[in-house]
Chain A
Amino acid sequence: MTDRNDPVVHVIEQLYAARFALADAYRHKEVEITSENEAKILPLLQNHLMARTQAHHVRVVTDLKRLFDLALRKQGIIAVSTELGAEMDAMDIELVQLQAHEHCDNFDGVEHSLGEIRDRLYAIYDVLNISAIQMQQRVSFGFGVAENPAIRQRENEYYLKEIDRLIESFQQIRRSFEREAYTQSSAVRGLVSNIDVKCLSVIDRIRSIQDVIREHIFKQRYLEERGLKIRALGRYLRDRPTWRPEAAEVCAEQQASFLRPAALTVFAFPELNCSLRLQAALSAIVLQLQRQLKVRPEGIERQSSVIETVSQEARDTVIPICEKLMHAFLRYILTNRGGVSALKWLQDTDNLQSVSKDYWLYYVMCYVEPNRFLGRRRIGDIISAQLVTSSCDGFDNRRLEDVFVHPVSIGSKNIASEQGTNVLA
């Protein structure tokens, strides 16, 4: 158990009772207190924490102020000194001396006094400039980084107060310089003008500090708003598990982020008429696929499907038009036992509407590949074909003009000699 009579407990109680007066005295340097508070604070005065300045007025003594500053230094917001009173007082004395020396025509004294005044003016400028630089550095590197929102708010208030103090100090010296004592002497006026110009940099720094704080506060509010919006959306989604943002979907293109390219989709259409070489390559691929996918070793018979049942529905297989035409074309060749132009046959049978000329010729060319199987027999054992081509671009590329197909019993020489065209075997 803590002893209630312990002197330390007693001091803590006093401090707690006087905490508001302490805080005010710290903030305002001096504070007027009521008689009731004075009774609470008097023991503290004896403990050298506060000092009485006049009746019912107290201020925080230097030691305690230093103690507060230590805590603030940890947060990187130690107080900036903008106290110019002492410098102004010293300069007023020098001005009086200057006037006295001028009155006595003491040129050495005048020069000395002017030198003193110049030094004092520079000291004032230094106080303002260094304060502004310090504050600018602290604001630039450490403002708004505290995670605790209460500390951030205190920090905001602190810096705004410090800037006010700095501006007020600046205004005070400006007002002082307009007094008669400063304007009477042309030499002093010149020195003041010189300091005025230098002080423009202080004003710029103050503006810069204000900009940083303003920007930070703007960013802070922006992030707060975004945080609220995300939380609101989260709450809304939890309350409505099946909800879908339909309105947003309709106007998704208004948000730039939704216009980012996703995975690129590539479409390719084979241009079969472009080159005979390409056609030949394609034929080779088709042939390879036919061998791999369709050709079965001899001796293996297709068995009935094991999943075939009585209830299974009949299914019609649609035969492609080209295949139908090809069968008819083959029948025609084998019936007539002579060489036939695939193109002419297509024209004669009025099938140009059913299939394009180029596609038909390409189909025939692939179909009559000698190593292909028709049932159990090789195409090469039944029919043979000759390709008729022409140069299409002046280079090596050729265009397929026609395909002559004939039963293997008829030699190809007859057809070649009949047509007189460029025939590839």
Chain B
Amino acid sequence: MKLFTKLARTLLAGGVICPWTHKELFEALQDDAWRTKMNLWLAEIELKLAESSSGQSWFAVSDTDDASTKTWARALFAEVMKDLRFHVGWLELMMNTMRRDIALSPGETLRYADLLSALNDNASLQAELQAIPGVAKEAKLQAQLDRLIQRLTKEGILVEANVQSQIYVFSGKLEVIQDYLVFIQETERVPIETANELIEEQGMLL
């Protein structure tokens, strides 16, 4: 299949093009000439190319200001809302498991063995895993984790980097999901607790 056809089909299907899932397509879009060519073609159907907040992935978005755009955005928003708690849940779990004070970023690796080991050693993390919608259906911890990894892989958020060693890489879709969540947090003005407030809160609990 021609590169242009691959690009067009992936973009029209709402795909997110990043170096970890579509290396060839991403490299093509790094070229100004290809971007111009795609934008010209997409403009014919009132779409345009857009990039994620860190510029590590590309996708097509609507390029009109009429009512249909609003309807379109609301429909996708409704889809995102269905899985809002799931996405927030697993993102928090991953950050806590990897002992990270920062958000995950595309291209980061995830080792299944490390994740399982961290979960085995920490009851609080196990509770977090079970609280993720759709995961608690399984009885055993490993099966719950498998279910989560399977879903993230199916949704294209995780990409298998090494099947035998069960090493995964976060794709550009991770950032798109984080963009959704950050947008909701900012628009709804959900209060952010600073590090000091968190320490105070923990101190009160102790």
Residues of A within 8 A of B (CB): 147, 149, 220, 223-224, 226-237, 244-245, 247-249, 251-264
Contacts and interface: CB of A to CB of B under 8 A. Distances in A.
A259 B185 contact: no
Given A251-B187, A258-B76, A227 B102 contact: yes
Given A237-B85, A252-B77, A230 B185 contact: yes
Contact of B92 (A231, A257, A259, A264): A231
Contact of B102 (A220, A248, A254): A220
Given A236-B190, A248-B183, A257-B180, 14 more contacts: A224-B101, A226-B178, A230-B91, A230-B185, A232-B192, A233-B88, A233-B181, A237-B85, A247-B187, A249-B74, A251-B187, A253-B69, A258-B77, A263-B13
A256 B12 contact: no
B176 interface: yes
Contacts of A231: 92, 95
Secondary structure dominating the interface of A:
helix
The bracket for how many chain B residues form the interface is 35 or more
B143 interface: no
Nearest to B193: A232
12 contacts: A227-B100, A228-B192, A229-B186, A230-B91, A233-B184, A253-B70, A253-B72, A261-B11, A261-B13, A261-B47, A262-B75, A262-B79
A256 B105 contact: no
B158 to A, nearest CB: 17
Contacts of B70: 252-253
Which 5 pairs show the lowest CB-CB distances between chains A and B?
A: A259-B61, A226-B103, A253-B73, A223-B102, A227-B103
A199 to B, nearest CB: 35
Interface in B166-186: 176, 178-186
B84 interface: yes
A257 B12 contact: no
A252 B190 contact: no
Contacts of A248: 77, 183-184, 187-188
A255 B89 CA distance: 22
Contacts of B183: 248, 254-255, 257-258
